[in-house]
């Protein structure tokens, strides 16, 4: 990138299984108000545009960004809605600032999963002609992916369960999480099966919440904060739609997105050069598979990453010290939460789950079942 773009502020709600006390605009307002207060910025004076992330079908409202136009500062101003995972808001926000059209951008992702039924929403993402009537949802598709991944590379259910144990334990140190605790591998393996081999504890729970981030051009960032978090690289990529058109034990789209991001950031050896990773494990096995896609280990070696303790909080390359998605983060918000947690690590503001001396952090988000679209963001300190 010829010029630098930074994250200058982050705010997250406390995530919760059900926020019956607020509608989604009020939920959004909580984080927007806080990120503005933290950065000392005002919408009218300082924010040049806004980007929101949510889905009409999740929100149960057509053009659902109408519901947050007022709180996001869209009134008589520019607001655009990415109907994708929240990580893509950071991607597009960076592009907007690099284009020279904007210099300070407010990002928001919000969803109240408690207001709808994830199985029905997920099922609508399958093409209406050939696969939808099979009754697929993201969980049953993920079960196929987990089976395939385990079959091809000998990844075990115990290794996937270890991811759950690690992340829910990490989550006990993160005040915004709601699904957490100290569990054993047996606890996970004894949980009821939802779609074999996935058990209840392997699946990110339904959650309500919102995340807001403010990004700025280099000039504005240095005026706003002493500790800007620079976007050093980013990438996105789509895979095929139909499950039969992909080898589900591979993740081509993630490999390509990571390749773009690393090239931009000048990262040659991701295993050595990255200090912490926040990735989107909607299902436990995905943490292992996505590490392979991110080039942290070779194909099929994801299981060894968790066995060796490298990805533990006190390991050489901590993965999801925040507790990850298994700790409870809403759909659509997932990726913006990944970026927010990675940014907090670089700022040194990850209360309770801070990793020492983080210079380079990677965040990853995905949209579509079995990770059809991936987005990778590399963040760095000055």
Does 116 sit near other proteins (CB under 8 A)? no
| By the rule CB under 8 A, 169 interacts with other proteins | no
Q: Nearer Cβ to other proteins, position 110 or 180?
A: 110
d(CA 168, CA 31): 24
Q: Which of 13, 31, 36, 79 binds other proteins (CB under 8 A)?
A: 79
**Is position 46 an interface residue for other proteins (rule: CB under 8 A)?**
no
Cα distance between the two ends of the chain? 15
Contact 160, 201 (CB under 8 A): no
Contacting range for other proteins; rule: CB under 8 A; set: 58-66, 272-280, 297-305, 338-346:
58-66
Quote the CA–CA distance of 156 and 161 in Å, as a whole number: 9
- Answer for the pair 234, 365: CB distance below 8 angstroms, yes or no: no
Nearer to other proteins, 59 or 202 (CB): 59
Choose between 165 and 376: whose C-beta lies nearer to other proteins: 376
Residues 330-349 touching other proteins, rule: CB under 8 A, are none
Least Cα distance to 241 among 129, 86, 332, 319 occurs for 129
Tell the residue number behind the tokens 């939802």, with chain if given. Answer: 194
Q: Is 125:141 a contact under the CB 8 Å cutoff?
A: no
Burial of 238 (0-12, 13-18, 19+ CB in 10 A): middle
Q: Segment contacting other proteins (CB under 8 A): 33-41, 82-90, 185-193, 320-328?
A: 82-90
Number of residues that bind other proteins (CB under 8 A): 61
CA atoms within 13 A on the CB side of 284: 29
127 interacts with other proteins by CB under 8 A: yes
User: Could you say which of 21, 44, 45, 62 contacts other proteins (CB under 8 A)?
Assistant: 62
Instruction: Let me know: does 85 contact 280? Beta carbons within 8 Å.
Output: yes
Positions in the binding site for other proteins (CB under 8 A)? 1-2, 23, 49, 55-57, 60-63, 65-67, 69-70, 74-84, 88, 91-92, 94-96, 98-101, 121-122, 124-125, 127-129, 235-241, 252-253, 256-257, 260, 367-369, 372-373
């Amino acid at each position: 990138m010829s010029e630098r773009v930074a994250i200058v502020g982050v705010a997250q709600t406390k995530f919760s299984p059900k926020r019956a006390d607020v509608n989604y605009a009020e939920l959004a307002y909580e984080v927007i108000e806080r990120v503005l207060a933290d950065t000392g910025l005002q919408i009218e004076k300082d924010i040049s545009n806004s980007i929101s992330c949510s889905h009409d079908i999740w929100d149960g409202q057509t053009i659902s960004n109408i519901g947050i136009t007022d709180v996001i500062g869209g009134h008589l101003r520019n607001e655009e809605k990415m109907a994708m995972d929240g990580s893509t808001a950071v991607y597009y926000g960076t592009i907007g600032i690099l284009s020279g059209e904007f210099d300070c951008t407010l990002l928001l992702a919000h969803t109240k999963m408690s207001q709808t039924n994830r199985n029905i929403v997920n099922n609508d993402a399958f093409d209406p002609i050939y696969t939808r009537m099979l009754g697929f949802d993201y969980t049953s598709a993920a079960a196929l992916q987990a089976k395939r991944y385990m079959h091809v590379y000998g990844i075990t259910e115990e290794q996937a369960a270890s991811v759950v144990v690690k992340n829910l334990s990490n989550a006990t140190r993160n005040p915004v999480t709601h699904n957490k605790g100290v569990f054993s591998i047996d606890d996970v393996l004894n949980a009821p099966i939802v779609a074999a081999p996935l058990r209840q504890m392997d699946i990110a729970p339904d959650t309500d919440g919102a995340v807001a981030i403010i990004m700025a051009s280099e000039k504005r960032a240095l005026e706003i904060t002493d500790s800007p978090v620079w976007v050093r690289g980013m990438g996105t990529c789509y895979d095929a739609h139909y499950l039969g058109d992909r080898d589900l034990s591979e993740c081509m789209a993630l490999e390509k997105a990571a390749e773009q991001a690393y090239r931009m950031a000048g990262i040659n050896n991701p295993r050595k050069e990255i200090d912490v990773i926040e990735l989107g494990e909607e299902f436990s096995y995905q943490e292992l598979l996505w590490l392979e896609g991110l080039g942290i280990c070779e194909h099929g070696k994801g299981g060894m990453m968790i066995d060796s303790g490298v990805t533990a909080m006190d390991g050489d390359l901590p993965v999801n010290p925040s507790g990850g998605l298994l700790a409870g983060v809403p759909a659509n918000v997932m990726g913006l939460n990944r970026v927010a947690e990675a940014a907090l690590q670089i700022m040194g503001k990850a209360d309770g789950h801070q990793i020492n001396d983080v210079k380079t952090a990677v965040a990853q988000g995905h949209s579509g079942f079995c990770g059809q679209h991936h987005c990778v963001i590399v963040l760095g300190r000055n």
